[in-house]
Amino acid sequence: MDKHVLLIEDEPNIIEAIRFILSREGWKVSAHADGTTALDVIRQARPHLVILDVMLPGQSGFDILQALRSEPGLETLPVLMLTAKGQGRDRDLADRYGASHFMTKPFSNAEMLQEVRHLLGQGA
């Protein structure tokens, strides 16, 4: 079965870059740009991995992550937090709320691919 990666990101260039990188590997990639409805989209899509931007319109990625971790059936879903702000405070919050990994923008294609492979259990 193909792995489904759900990208919660509001920057079109980032969406297209990640979609291109991951689709080449055979993964299904879908995107959603609104923080307010992101949790509902995750519930419906039941992806294998969520790549979650921190700064989203409507609701922050941290709020979404916190809600995911308290929801039965989604509490162990791998979540890769993605942010343009790489400050220690953001990393600490991501760790505290249960992010599987934290990555800053800009990222390299190789770094993104390696981390997604790791989180999907497909080696490095």
Half-sphere exposure of 31 (CA within 13 A, CB side): 17
pLDDT score recorded for residue 56: 97
Q: Where are the alpha helices (DSSP H) in 24-107?
A: 38-45, 61-69, 88-97
Mean pLDDT of 89-97: 92
pLDDT of residue 118: 96
Determine the Cα–Cα distance for residues 42 and 32; give it in Å rounded to an integer: 9
Does 2 or 47 have the greater pLDDT score? 47
Distance CA 27, CA 3 (A): 5
Q: Which residue has the tokens 């702000």?
A: 85
Q: What is the pLDDT of residues 45-83, one digit of tens each?
A: 999 999 999 999 999 999 999 999 999 999 999 999 999
Ranges of each domain in the chain: 4-119
pLDDT tens-digit map of 105-122: 999 999 999 999 999 998
Q: What is the CATH number of domain 4-119?
A: 3.40.50.2300
Q: Which of 69, 71, 82 is nearest to 116 (CA)?
A: 82
Handedness of CA 119, 95, 84, 54 (dihedral sign): positive
Query: 1 pLDDT band (50/70/90 cuts)?
Result: low
Closest CA to 82 of 69, 65, 70, 58: 65
